Amino acid sequence: MYLITVFGNLLIILAVISDAHLHTPMYFFLTNLSFVDICFTSTTIPKMLRNVQTQSKVITYEACITQIYFFLLSAVLDIFLLTVMAYDRFVAICHPLHYMVIMNPRLCFLLVLVSWTIIVSLFFCTSLGVYLSSAATHSSHSSATASVMYTVVTPMLNPFIYSLRNKDLKGALKRFFVMASLKRLIILDLEKCPRFQISKSQSQ
């Protein structure tokens, strides 16, 4: 799940950077959100995986403070970026006359309700459950499961949410993979070319 989170968010960043059509405020915020999600998971998951492998839970005081600082920084940045993205969409879509026909009040209410129930309940309820129940008698397994939910699952879902439901981003990802494969084919063809091999041998 950690690898999916990192590579999925990296793909979004590379797709937006490589496509000039996506150089807009919305996708600028999205690339920042993807970067923050990578940082968010990278503050805790590598250490957790190492602890699982070595069966050791030891961490120095300095490392603990540093980890908590970057974890909270990433979490707060995530929340503010989502707020900025919401405001960006509000500004972008509130004026067109036909917009109210498509986005009727009932649909808007359902979208808000679903959003609050799921990218909010999934994160905040599980995180609050872990830290508020620290004094209560709960099993470490349930606490670990809740921690994984908001540190790994939520950032992992973001690339799927923002790519699978977005035609522009899907198009950018397709163009990115096509360009990458074309560059690879050109490099392979150049390496097979006799002139390239001669020049390469001369440089060596």
What would the DSSP string read from start to end of 55-83?
T-----HHHHHHHHHHHHHHHHHHHHHHH
180 found inside a domain: no
15 found inside a domain: yes
66 found inside a domain: yes
159 found inside a domain: yes
Number of domains in the chain: 1
150 found inside a domain: yes
181 found inside a domain: no
Query: Digits of tens for pLDDT over the chain (204 positions)?
Result: 888 889 888 988 888 888 888 887 778 888 888 888 898 889 988 888 888 888 888 888 888 888 888 888 888 888 888 887 787 777 777 766 655 555 566 766 676 667 656 666 666 666 666 666 655 555 566 666 666 666 777 777 777 777 666 777 777 778 878 887 888 778 777 777 665 555 555 555
21 found inside a domain: yes
Q: How far apart are CA 44 and CA 152, in angstroms?
A: 9
Q: How far apart are CA 100 and CA 82, in angstroms?
A: 23
Alpha-carbon 164 to chain mean position: 13
Q: Round the CA-based radius of gyration of the chain to a whole number and report it.
A: 22
Alpha-carbon 18 to chain mean position: 17
Strand ranges, E, within the chain: none
**Whole domain around residue 140: which residue ranges?**
2-104+114-168
Predicted confidence at residue 139, as pLDDT, reads 58
67 found inside a domain: yes
